[in-house]
């Protein structure tokens, strides 16, 4: 078996539904920046299982965001293949990718990316309106502890609050997978922990497969599984024998 | 409401300043379109209905005198539907308390029953009773000019017989919607009136019993107008026929037709400019909006919004911005149309105005606007819609700056750092800078065009009255009169100089082209009436040959000096003369053919006869001179020059003021719209940069200079460009409006340039004040925190 492959034999995750949600094989991404070619991903193999909470660790430029974007259907690979629940994403066209994102994926970004002209509730509603089986925006916001700030605009919310709204927006559609790119990167540690709690709660209560990108090693301690990336490749994948609660984390 | 629609309204509110500026420009385009089209159609419908209701004739002919029995032959001509003979007589009028000479035209009404053709439209009172000897109806313009009412009286001198007449009615006629006294160039409602009188009474006074000197026809469906004209000319030739003509040559009708053509031109030029500018502004604003909302677009797409949905969102925004402009433009256009229609109604003596609101015009307005709006924004909207979500998440690459051409020339040492930033920023986006300049230049040119019309008319008047026709009074005789009559005019107290002229009605023919006018025989070396060459220098009339107005020679007859012109005289023994064209003359009002009086007398095989005289008089004795002239039986009428000019200026002032007001307002809209939007976009694009400079210690003034200096520079550069466009547009108008009635010279006064530039600069000043306020509120910390 490939040493760096982040694939596990079935049943190795104790107490977890071992259904494979994402399967990537030989995933390669090359960017062309002017005359320079940048290889962001090299031959990555990866399986993500239903309901697991994965932390993707790695320094900046290691390819984690590129991987996340390809998994989420935001970007396409140069070569290799990705399957989502048996559907080949690499073969999907623009319209199919849009539908995939709409129905199955929730994103959380480092800078929240809320629509500044919409309130918390409306930001969530913008997504639930186009989803097939959404929860009420208010319920999603309640879940992340923002039930009392429904009608605030992003400019009236702190960074942590904005990120919680962003999480509510991501989970409100009941996605199969939640992809978070440095969700605490712009926050202080206390606020970051509140956000991580919201993510964990969503993962536990809704059973959403959750991938969190970070370069903060501490956060890895709350994961089911930690995947390390370096130079566009997977450098290692390990299961956490004991998961810490976000409250127990310090950085 | 969907969340995305809420975003739309809030975005719109955020950019309300820019949206308003764009709306103003759109309002300019749509309102002028709606105004011109609606006024045009309303006038057209009114004209048609008026013509039908009053049974306006289709062929007209005047003659010296024919027995009534000839009427039967005329009615029997092929193609005639209806024919009606009339007596039309020149008249001198006296209104109590008004000293100036008044001339007029009395038109006969059939003794019994309504006129079959050219029925007067009765505004008040009634038409003269059958057999009533002293009753008249008078034209409304004349009545209003003197405050005359039914029941008032006036005195008329017909063929030397003084008659007191009772006004019984006030009327209008499609024949005299634009009534110009003989020998004059403009309507003069105080000194020229149209009167209607019973045929019998008029014929008796005018020595026309059992005869007629005017006839009008309508045609059978499908009959040829030209054939009838030829037939009528043939029949009337022995009765001194002055040449029949169709409705298209009827003076009043022609003038209105020309004017309507002008409205059509307006309905094209203005909307094209305004909507073009609006499209450009929308392009700039939407492109900028899409750039600032890159991440939002990326996020929406990441969450599953499709390309189509994102595109629709921005398209809706564009439509929301335009909708206000379109609706307000239509409303304003209709309001303008009412005002303009009213002015036209008065100016051209329409008895009523059928305000015609064709939904098709509104449909066209909406369609044209939408095409312009979409053309301006479709690229930006498509770019927004097609943005790959992952790319939207990444910040835009930093803009590429280069050393400018100016700098490469080594001039940078002379430019301070802020100035260098301005120059670099302008040259970095040459297309946008160029379009901004074009927009401002368009505003400048529209403002210029407005005042150009006034300049051109002033110039026309100056040439006509300052250089060419410099007499104080023109006296017209009833018939050709021996030249020695001049001596009795000259001997009047207060007359310092008198010059005779011989005017012969004629048809000028060259090949298959022809034109009806009068050949004007003038004394060589006259001082009061001078013929001008292309440089507007007075030129002597050659002893032989005819001199033609440029427009008449080049555009109408297509004849060159040296070629032979056929002159079919429509008077006396009606000789047909072959006369070489000796030269061309420039004049802006009317077209004429000039000959030496001697030569004309010789060709007419008559002695030294004159048709009238031009006088230069002492203004103090003018009233007495009028009185004496009235007593002379051969004097058919007197035209006073100064009052004609005043009257004309007054009339033009009204119409032109209205247009000036509208176009200055709309030109200001464009200027403000372009300048404000450019500055506002620059502020949005560069607020981080400017805030950084403020943090580094630049004052608000210095930062303001960098921002406003750029748009100020473009504004200054745009003004001369606008002058150039303005000249081009004015030149186009001059060509488009040229006709044998008048030509517009391309004359632009310095004042006109100055005013156009001033309004553009004021727009800049207002913008600068608004932007200054925004700059003072620039939140340094917040701006530096937000990620671009």
Residue B137 has pLDDT above 80, yes or no: yes
Find residue B521's DSSP bridge partners: B502, B595
Residue B634 or B61, more confident: B61
- Binning pLDDT at 50, 70 and 90, where does residue B784 land? low
Cβ atoms B663, B35 nearer than 8 A: no
Task: Judge whether residue B143 has pLDDT over 50.
Answer: yes
pLDDT at residue B634 greater than cutoff 70: yes
CA distances from residue B320 to A228, B12, B16, B210, B325 in whole angstroms, order as listed: 50, 8, 11, 73, 9
Alpha helices by DSSP H, listed for B15-113, are 16-53, 70-75
Q: In what order do the strands lie in the sheet with A53-57?
A: A105-108, A177-181, A209-214, A53-57, A225-230, A233-239
Mean pLDDT calculated for residue range B496-520: 91
Residue B562 DSSP symbol? T
- Contact flag B303-A169 (C-beta cutoff 8 Å): yes
* Confidence grade of residue B381 (pLDDT, cut at 50, 70, 90): very high
Q: Indicate the helix (H) or strand (E) that contains B488.
A: helix B485-490
Q: What is the domain range of residue A240?
A: 50-70+100-248
Q: What is the mean pLDDT of residues B258-270?
A: 82
**Rounded CA Rg of chain B:** 33
CA distance A38 to chain B (A): 16
* Cβ(B193)–Cβ(B171) below 8 Å: no
Q: Are A101 and B393 an interchain contact pair (Cβ–Cβ within 8 Å)?
A: no
What is the tens place of the pLDDT at every residue in B386-399?
A: 888 877 776 666 66
In a domain, A151, yes or no: yes
Hey, are the CB atoms on A129 and B3 less than 8 Å from each other? Answer: yes
Q: Count CB atoms within 10 A of the CB of residue B131.
A: 11
Q: Where are the alpha helices (DSSP H) in B99-194?
A: 140-146
Q: How many residues does chain B have?
A: 788
Confidence of residue A12 (pLDDT cuts 50, 70, 90): very low
Is A78 within 8 Å of chain B by CB?
no
Find the mean pLDDT for residues B555-574.
90
Report yes or no: A128 and A173 within 8 Å, Cβ to Cβ.
Answer: yes
Q: How confident is the model at residue A8 (pLDDT cuts 50, 70, 90)?
A: low
Give B11's contacts in chain A (Cβ within 8 Å): 117
* Contact residues on chain A for B301, CB-CB shorter than 8 A: 74, 98, 101
pLDDT at B152 over 80: yes
Q: What is the 3-state secondary structure (H, E, C) of B386-400?
A: HCCHHHHHCCCCCCC
Q: What is the pLDDT of residue B48?
A: 93
For chain B, say whether A127 makes contact (Cβ under 8 Å). Answer: yes
Q: Contact B393/A74, CB-based, under 8 Å?
A: yes
Whether pTM exceeds 0.90: no
Q: Confirm whether A23 is domain-assigned.
A: no
Q: For residues B594-626, b (16+ Cβ closer than 10 Å) or e, as one string?
A: bbbbbbbbebbeeeebbbbbbbbbeeeebeebb
- Over A134-153, what HEC string results? CCCHHHHHHHCCCCCCCCCC
Q: Is B307 on the interface with A (CB under 8 A)?
A: yes
- Structure confidence at residue B318 (pLDDT): 93
From B782's Cα to the closest Cα of chain A, the distance in A is 11
Task: Look at residue B752 and tell me if it is in a domain.
Answer: no
Written as one string, the DSSP assignment of A167-212 is: HHHHHTT--SEEEEESTTTTS-HHHHHHHHHHHHHHHHHH--EEEE
The count of structural domains within chain A is 1
Burial class (CB in 10 A: 0-12, 13-18, 19+), B208: buried
Tell me if A179 is assigned to some domain.
yes
What is the pLDDT at residue B415? 65
Residue among B2, B3, B293 with most chain A CBs within 10 A, to mutate: B3
What is the mean pLDDT of the segment spanning A104-125? Answer: 90
Does residue A151 or residue B424 have the better pLDDT? A151
What is the spatial distance between Cα A199 and Cα A197, in angstroms, rounded to a whole number? 5
| Chain-chain contact of B303 with A130 (C-beta, under 8 angstroms) | yes
- Look at residues B559, B588, B617 and tell me which one is the last residue of a structural domain: B617
CA distance A139 to B519: 96
Residue tagged 């939408």 (tokens): B370
* pLDDT per position as a tens digit, B657-684: 777 777 788 888 888 888 998 888 888 8
List C-alpha distances in Å: A134 to A104, A120, B301, B425: 11, 16, 17, 48
Q: For residue A192, give the CATH number of its domain.
A: 3.40.50.300
User: B303 to chain A nearest CA, in Å?
Assistant: 5
Q: Is residue A31 part of a domain?
A: no
Domain count, chain B: 2
Identify the band that residue A14 occupies on the pLDDT scale cut at 50, 70 and 90.
Answer: very low
Q: A93 by DSSP, 3-state: which?
A: coil
- B787 phi/psi in degrees, rounded to 5: -80, 135
User: CB under 8 Å, gap of 24 or more: what pairs does B558-567 form?
Assistant: B558/B510, B558/B511, B558/B513, B559/B510, B563/B510, B565/B508, B565/B509, B565/B510, B565/B593, B566/B508, B566/B509, B566/B510, B567/B506, B567/B507, B567/B508, B567/B509, B567/B519, B567/B593, B567/B603
pLDDT for B103: 87
Return the H-helix or E-strand segment holding B502: strand B495-510
**Two structure tokens written together for A107:** 């994103």
Cα separation, B125 vs B167, in Å, equals 9
Tell whether B605 is covered by a domain: yes
Measured between alpha carbons, how far is residue B360 from residues A241, B37, B324, B340 in Å? 77, 10, 20, 20
> B243 in helix, strand or coil?
coil
Is the pLDDT score of A133 beyond 60? yes
Span B514-539, average pLDDT: 87
Is residue B388 a part of any domain in this protein?
no
In this predicted structure, which of A84-93, A147-156, B473-482, B648-657 has the lowest mean pLDDT? B648-657
Grouping H, G, I as helix, E, B as strand and the rest as coil, residue B172 is: strand
What residues in A contact B304, CB-CB < 8 Å? 98-99, 101-103, 105, 127, 130-131, 173
Tokens standing for B197?
């009188």
Run of H or E residues at B371: helix B359-386
Q: What is the mean pLDDT of chain B?
A: 87
pLDDT (tens digit, 9 = 90+) per residue, B722-756?
999 999 989 988 888 787 878 888 888 999 999 99
In a domain, B320, yes or no: no
In contact, B516 and B507? CB cutoff 8 Å: yes
ipTM for this prediction: 0.84
- pLDDT of the residue at A123: 92
Q: Which of B723, B662, B725 is nearest to B28 (CA)?
A: B662
Asked whether residue B314 is assigned to any structural domain, the reply reads no
Residue B65, in any domain of the structure: yes
Among B158-167, B409-418, B532-541, whose mean pLDDT is lowest?
B409-418
What's the domain range around B515? 495-617
Q: Let me know if residue B511 belongs to a domain.
A: yes
CB contact under 8 A, A126 and B11: no
Size of interface A-B (CB pairs under 8 A): 82
What is the predicted pLDDT for the residue at B270?
82
pLDDT confidence bin for B251, thresholds 50/70/90: confident
Secondary-structure percent of chain B, ordered helix, strand, coil, rounded to 5? 55, 20, 25
| Average pLDDT of the residues in A92-107 | 89
Average pLDDT for residues A90-118, to the nearest whole number?
A: 88
Please report the residues numbered 185 through 244 in chain A whose beta carbons come closer than 8 angstroms to any beta carbon of chain B. none
What is the three-class DSSP state of B544?
coil
C-alpha span between A107 and B303 (Å, rounded) = 7
The pLDDT of residue A10 is 44
Interface touch B304/A127, C-beta < 8 Å: yes
The pLDDT score that the predictor gives to residue A4 is: 44
Domain end residue (candidates: B250, B270, B294): B250
- Nearest residue to B764 via CA among B665, B673, B661, B666: B673
Could you tell me which residues come within 8 angstroms of residue B172 by beta carbon, excluding any fewer than 6 positions away?
A: B120, B121, B123, B139, B140, B349, B350, B351
Q: Distance (Å) from the C-alpha of residue B26 to the closest C-alpha of chain A?
A: 27
Q: Tell me how far apart the alpha carbons of residues B4 and B301 are, in angstroms, rounded to a whole number.
A: 13
* Long-range pairs of B292-296 with CB within 8 A, sequence gap ≥ 24: B292/B684, B293/B384, B294/B387, B294/B392, B294/B395, B294/B396, B295/A111, B295/A113, B295/B392, B295/B393, B296/A113, B296/A115, B296/A116
DSSP state of B503: E
* Distance to chain B for A128, nearest Cα, Å: 10
Among residues B509, B570, B519, which one has the least CA distance to residue B237?
B570
Taking CA–CA distances from A125, the nearest residue in chain B reads B3
Above pLDDT 90, what percent of chain B? Answer: 43
Please name the member of A95, A111, A125 whose beta carbon is closest to the beta carbon of B3.
A125
Number of neighbours of residue B33 by Cβ within 10 angstroms: 27
Burial of residue B112 (CB within 10 Å: 0-12, 13-18, 19+) is exposed
- How would residue B778 be classed by pLDDT, with cut points 50, 70 and 90? confident
Of B617, B641, B662, the domain-final residue: B617
Residue owning tokens 């299982």: A49
Let me know if residue B559 belongs to a domain: yes
Q: What is the pLDDT of residues B55-104, one digit of tens each?
A: 999 999 999 899 999 999 999 999 999 999 999 998 889 898 888 888 89
Beta strands B609-617 and B473-482 are antiparallel
CA of A104 vs chain B CAs: smallest distance (Å): 9
Whether residue A99 and residue B304 make contact (CB cut-off 8 A), yes or no, is yes
Say if residues B135 and B165 touch (Cβ distance below 8 Å). Answer: yes
pLDDT band at residue A13 using 50, 70 and 90 as cut-offs? very low
Give residues with Cβ within 8 angstroms of B413, minimum separation 6: none
Other C-beta atoms closer than 10 Å to the C-beta of B409 total: 8
Question: Chain A: nearest CA to B671, how far in angstroms?
Answer: 31
* Cα B226 from Cα B218, distance rounded (Å): 13
């Amino acid at each position: 078996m490939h040493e760096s492959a982040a694939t596990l034999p079935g049943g190795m995750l104790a107490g977890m539904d071992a259904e494979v949600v994402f399967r990537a094989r030989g995933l390669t991404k090359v960017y062309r920046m002017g005359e320079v070619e940048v290889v962001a991903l090299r031959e990555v193999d990866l399986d993500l299982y239903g309901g697991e909470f994965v932390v993707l660790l790695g320094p900046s430029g290691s390819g984690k965001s590129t991987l996340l974007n390809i998994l989420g259907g935001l970007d396409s690979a140069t070569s290799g293949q990705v399957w989502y629940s048996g559907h080949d994403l690499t073969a999907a066209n623009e319209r199919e990718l849009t539908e995939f994102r709409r129905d199955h994926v929730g994103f959380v970004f480092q800078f929240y990316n809320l629509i500044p002209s919409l309130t918390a509730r409306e930001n969530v509603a913008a997504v639930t309106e186009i989803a097939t089986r959404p929860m009420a925006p208010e319920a999603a916001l309640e879940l992340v502890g923002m039930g009392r700030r429904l009608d605030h605009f992003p400019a009236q919310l702190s960074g942590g609050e904005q990120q919680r709204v962003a999480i509510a927006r991501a989970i409100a559609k009941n996605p199969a997978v939640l992809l978070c790119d440095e969700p605490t990167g712009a926050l202080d540690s206390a606020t970051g922990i509140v956000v991580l709690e919201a993510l964990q709660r969503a993962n536990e209560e809704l059973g959403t497969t959750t991938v969190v990108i970070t370069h903060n090693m501490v956060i890895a301690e709350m994961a089911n599984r930690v995947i390390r990336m370096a130079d566009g490749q997977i450098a290692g994948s390990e299961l956490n024998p004991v998961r810490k609660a976000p409250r127990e984390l310090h950085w | 409401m969907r969340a995305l629609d809420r975003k739309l309204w809030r975005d719109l509110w955020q950019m309300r300043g820019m949206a308003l500026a764009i709306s103003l420009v759109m309002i300019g385009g749509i309102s002028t379109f709606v105004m011109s089209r609606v006024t045009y159609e309303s006038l057209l419908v009114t004209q048609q209905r008026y013509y039908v209701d009053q049974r306006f004739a289709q062929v007209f002919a005047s003659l010296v005198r024919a027995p009534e029995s000839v009427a039967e032959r005329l009615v029997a001509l092929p193609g005639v539907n209806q024919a009606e003979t009339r007596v039309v007589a020149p008249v001198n009028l006296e209104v109590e308390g008004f000293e100036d000479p008044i001339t007029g035209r009395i038109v006969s009404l059939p003794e019994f029953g309504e006129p079959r053709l050219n029925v007067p439209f009765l505004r008040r009172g009634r038409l003269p009773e059958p057999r009533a000897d002293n009753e008249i109806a008078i034209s409304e313009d004349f009545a209003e000019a003197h405050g005359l009412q039914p029941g008032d009286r006036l005195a008329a001198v017909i063929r030397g017989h003084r008659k007191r007449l009772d006004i019984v009615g006030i009327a209008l006629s499609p024949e005299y919607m634009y009534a110009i006294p003989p020998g004059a160039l403009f309507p003069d409602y105080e000194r020229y009136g149209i009167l209607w009188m019973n045929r019998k009474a008029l014929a008796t006074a005018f020595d026309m019993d059992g005869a007629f000197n005017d006839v009008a026809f309508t045609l059978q469906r499908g009959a040829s107008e030209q054939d009838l004209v030829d037939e009528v000319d043939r029949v009337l030739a022995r009765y001194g026929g002055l040449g029949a003509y169709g409705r298209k040559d009827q003076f009043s009708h022609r003038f209105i037709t020309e004017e309507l053509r002008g409205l059509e031109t307006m309905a094209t030029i203005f909307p094209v400019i305004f909507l073009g500018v609006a499209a450009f502004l929308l392009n700039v604003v939407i492109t900028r909006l899409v750039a600032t909302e890159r991440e939002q677009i990326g996020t929406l797409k990441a969450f599953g919004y499709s390309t189509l949905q994102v595109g629709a969102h921005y398209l809706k925004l564009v439509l929301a911005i335009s909708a206000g402009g379109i609706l307000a433009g239509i409303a304003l256009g209709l309001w303008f149309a009412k005002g303009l229609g009213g002015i036209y109604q008065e100016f051209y003596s329409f008895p009523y105005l059928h305000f015609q609101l064709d939904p098709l015009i509104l449909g066209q307005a909406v369609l044209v606007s939408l095409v312009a709006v979409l053309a301006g924004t479709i690229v930006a909207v498509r770019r927004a819609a097609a943005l790959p979500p992952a790319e939207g998440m990444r910040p835009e690459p930093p803009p590429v700056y280069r050393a400018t051409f100016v700098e490469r020339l080594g001039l940078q040492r002379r430019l301070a750092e802020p100035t260098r930033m301005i120059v670099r920023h302008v040259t970095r986006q040459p297309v946008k800078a160029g379009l901004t300049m074009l927009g401002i230049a368009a505003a400048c040119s529209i403002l210029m065009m407005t005042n150009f019309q006034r300049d051109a008319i002033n110039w026309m008047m100056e040439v006509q009255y300052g250089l060419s026709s410099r007499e104080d009074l023109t006296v017209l005789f009833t018939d050709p009169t021996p030249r020695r009559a001049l001596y009795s005019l000259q001997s009047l107290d207060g007359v310092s100089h008198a010059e005779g002229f011989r005017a012969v009605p004629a048809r000028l023919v060259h090949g298959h082209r022809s034109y009806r006018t009068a050949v004007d025989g003038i004394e060589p070396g006259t001082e009061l009436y001078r013929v001008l060459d292309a440089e507007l220098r007075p030129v002597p009339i050659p002893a032989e040959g005819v001199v033609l107005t440029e427009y008449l020679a080049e555009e109408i007859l297509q004849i060159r000096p040296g070629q032979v012109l056929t002159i079919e005289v429509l008077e006396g023994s009606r000789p047909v003369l072959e006369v070489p064209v000796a030269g061309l003359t420039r004049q802006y009002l009317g077209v004429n053919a000039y000959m030496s009086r001697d030569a004309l007398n010789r060709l007419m095989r008559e002695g030294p006869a004159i048709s009238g005289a031009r006088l230069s008089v002492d203004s103090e004795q003018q009233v007495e001179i009028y009185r004496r002239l009235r007593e002379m039986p051969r004097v058919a009428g007197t035209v006073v020059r100064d009052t004609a000019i005043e009257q004309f200026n007054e009339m033009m002032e009204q119409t032109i003021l209205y247009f000036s007001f509208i176009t200055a307002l709309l030109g200001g809209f464009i200027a403000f719209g372009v300048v404000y939007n450019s500055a506002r976009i620059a502020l949005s694009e560069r607020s981080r940069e400017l805030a950084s400079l403020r943090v580094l210690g630049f004052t608000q003034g210095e930062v303001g200079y960098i921002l406003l200096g750029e748009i100020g520079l473009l504004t200054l550069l745009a003004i001369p460009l606008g002058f150039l466009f303005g000249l081009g547009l004015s030149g186009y108008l001059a060509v488009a409006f040229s006709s044998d009635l008048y030509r517009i010279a391309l004359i632009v006064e310095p004042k006109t340039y100055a005013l156009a530039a001033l309004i553009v600069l004021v727009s800049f000043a207002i913008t600068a004040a608004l932007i200054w306020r925004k700059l003072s509120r620039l939140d340094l910390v917040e701006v530096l925190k937000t990620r671009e």
